[in-house]
Amino acid sequence: MLATELGSGAAHARLAREVRLARSVRHANVCPVFDLEQADGLAFVTMELARGSLADELAERDASAPPPPRDVWAARLADAEGVCLGVAAIHEMGIAHRDLKAHNVLRMADGRLAIADFGIAHAGDEGTAQGTPICLPPEVIFGLPTDRRSDLWQLGLLLYEILLGERPTWRMPPGGAPAPVAPAGSVPSDVAPLVEAASSCLRLRPEDRPTSAAIARVARRVRRAATGPRPMPAAARAVK
Query: CA-CA-CA-CA torsion for 91, 93, 94, 98, nearest 10 degrees?
Result: -50
Which domains can be identified in the chain, with CATH numbers? 50-230 (1.10.510.10)
Percent of the chain with pLDDT over 70: 83
Candidates 62, 79, 99, 208; catalytic one:
99
pTM of the predicted model as reported, rounded to 2 decimal places: 0.84
Amino acid at 156: G
Q: What tens digit of pLDDT does each residue of 11-55 get? A: 777 778 878 888 899 999 999 988 888 887 777 788 899 999 999
Radius of gyration for the chain, computed over Cα atoms and rounded to the nearest angstrom = 18
Contacts of 115 (CB under 8 A, 6+ apart): 29, 30, 31, 83, 86, 87, 90, 97, 100, 104, 105, 106
208 is catalytic: no
The span from the first CA to the last CA of the chain, in angstroms, equals 25
Q: How many helices (H) and strands (E) does the chain have?
A: 8, 10
* pLDDT confidence tier of residue 66, bands split at 50, 70 and 90: confident
What pLDDT is recorded for position 134?
65
